[in-house]
Amino acid sequence: MSTPLPQSANEQPQRTLFQRLSESSHPIALIFFLAFRLGALLTYLFGLLFINNFVLVFILVILLLAADFWNVKNVSGRLLVGLRWWNESRADGSSIWVFETADPQRYINPIDSKVFWLISYATPALWLALALLAVLKFQFLWLLLIIVALILTITNALAFSRCDKFGKANQITSGIMGNMVSSGIFGKVFGGLTGRFFGR
């Protein structure tokens, strides 16, 4: 009869994905983040198999994308990585991006952070692959939906990336560099473009 070998001090038992996600500091925010983000993709991919109505699937995906955009921008980003952004309009008609970071002393759970950044960058890449597939199959109505998905997911990914850089620069330079990033060229150009797009 063989006896199990003792595990070394450095070797940790393998944990399942569910066990890792259960270590989240904000499991409800993480669940909603994943549900909206993956829900839009899965509804797009498999919606017509279960709902034999193109218009209904189209509307469901748009609603899930809008819910995901709002949730990531206002709730998930703040809770999971301590970041928040918004766009402010000035009296002269121009707009600026405003970035907000949590207190540097606040603990950011590494599970929350990894899942947030991985999904934030992976979903635009998946939507881009689906856009190429839609072009190759000449599905231009679906392409319109994918363009909306790309605009919303890329806007959030870019804004949170800039917000993260702003927060790190703000910690290093005690606010001087942070103000330049917040009101710099990127904020003016990209803020103006998205302001015009969403203003329509």
Q: Please give the full DSSP string across 6-45, using - where no structure is assigned.
A: PPPSS------HHHHHTT-SSHHHHHHHHHHHHHHHHHHH
Residue-wise pLDDT tens digits, 20-57: 777 888 999 999 999 999 999 999 999 888 888 899 99
pTM: 0.74
Residue 14 located in a structural domain:
no
In this predicted model, which residue has the larger pLDDT, 108 or 175?
108
**Quick one: which H or E segment has residue 198?**
helix 185-199
Residue 16 located in a structural domain:
no
The residue segments making up the domain with residue 52 are: 23-195
Is the pLDDT reported for residue 3 higher than 90?
no
Number of domains in the chain: 1
Tokens of 153: 């997911």
3-state secondary structure (DSSP) of residue 4: coil
Give the list of residues 6+ apart from residue 154 with CB closer than 8 angstroms, or none: 124
Residue 35 located in a structural domain:
yes
- Average of per-residue pLDDT values in the chain: 82
Residue 13 located in a structural domain:
no
pLDDT band per the 50, 70, 90 thresholds, residue 145 = very high
Residue 102 located in a structural domain:
yes
Residue 73 located in a structural domain:
yes
In this prediction, residues 148-173 reach a mean pLDDT of: 88
Tell me what percent of the residues of the chain surpass a pLDDT of 70: 78
The Cα–Cα gap between 88 and 193 comes to 13
Residue 67 located in a structural domain:
yes
pLDDT band per the 50, 70, 90 thresholds, residue 65 = very high
Residue 108 located in a structural domain:
yes
Please tell me the least confidently modeled range out of 15-19, 63-67, 132-136. Answer: 15-19
- Specify the pLDDT at position 149: 96
